[in-house]
Amino acid sequence: MYVTGQTQGKIFTSLAPMRGLTTRHFMDILYDCGEPDEYISEFLRVHPTATIPTDIIDLIENRKSVADLSIQLLGKEPEHFSRIAKMLQNYKIKSINLNCGCPMPKIGRKGVGGTLLTELNTIDNIISIISNNTNIPISVKTRIGYKSPQEFAIILNHLARHKLSAVYVHARTVKGMYDEPVDFECINVAKATLDCPVIANGDIRTAQEAINIIEKTNADGIMIGRAAISNPWIFRQIGELANKAKIFVPTGEDYFNLIEKLQSFTSELVLTDFQKTSSVKKYVIPIADFVDPLGAFPYCIRRATTPQELMNICKNFFVKK
């Protein structure tokens, strides 16, 4: 359900895919904390020999969540998208999401992700071939340009040619990476051009910011990425704020229990203690920076080398004596 421009009631929320972070285990964490309406998977790389990887199948079939799931595809050869899309018809998914926004240089050098914004005819061909060969809805995640926001109007005109289920707009350019100021005025432009729902994305860090952006842009929903790592309760908080209910504020014990769950995911992996600690740190460092940005907690977490050391640091910070 999409609610356009309303801050009283239901606001559509989506979890942005983040490589190595938005795994099935993390989605199970969000199931307990208060999950979004939709998850978009980490990208499935489309190439001549690509198939559906086991982690994507595990995500589709074994997650605790009852929320919708879309599978994101990353590639540039239209003919290979057709083959993968046909495979995905065997699974229950909400949509195929085309990645036209990843700004990472190592991705861009392969001509995929955000680099596709320099080849808009290729985007047209990919969408058309998926649409012509499957009945799966198609959505697009895009930036507002490759080098300049002035490119956005042309990008939107290409997207408007197709029947899309949604367009997710990260309101920065590809070259702007994550440092460029977010230009949410572009959401209004997208709303005026496209017939499908437009979802706003980019540095939305709190429930209040989500509400403010809905009011400012009339977006059909909010997509959140990094803020959900540091505060997995943010989707719950958005719903509570939209309904003028009491906002849940996690306690230190809530955070400690969360980190214990994250730690438990590594217990059965064949990794060294240092590797296990590094795996959990991907989640705990953003939490530490969020709850104690100027304190010793983030400093100590970055220097932990064993699971026990990491947990002791977290216990000392979060659990009252």
pTM, rounded to two decimals: 0.93
d(C-alpha 185, C-alpha 47), whole Å: 35
pLDDT in tens, 250-282: 999 999 999 999 999 887 777 899 999 999 999
Residue 66, pLDDT > 50, answer: yes
Average pLDDT over every residue of 130-138: 95
Residue 181, pLDDT > 80, answer: yes
**pLDDT given at position 137:** 97
**pLDDT given at position 104:** 93
The token pair at 51 is 């198939």
- Selecting among 33, 100, 102, 186, the annotated active-site residue is 102
Name the band, by pLDDT with cuts 50, 70 and 90, for residue 9: low
Q: What rounded mean pLDDT belongs to the chain?
A: 93
Helix (H/G/I), strand (E/B), else coil: 33:
helix
Name the band, by pLDDT with cuts 50, 70 and 90, for residue 35: very high
Name the band, by pLDDT with cuts 50, 70 and 90, for residue 321: low
d(C-alpha 142, C-alpha 183), whole Å: 13
- Whether 102 sits among the annotated catalytic residues: the reply is yes
- Angle of helix 296-303 relative to helix 273-291, nearest 10 degrees, comes to 170
- Please list, in sequence order, all residues whose beta carbon lies within 8 angstroms of the beta carbon of residue 113, skipping any fewer than 6 positions away: 74, 99, 100, 101, 102, 103, 104, 107, 174
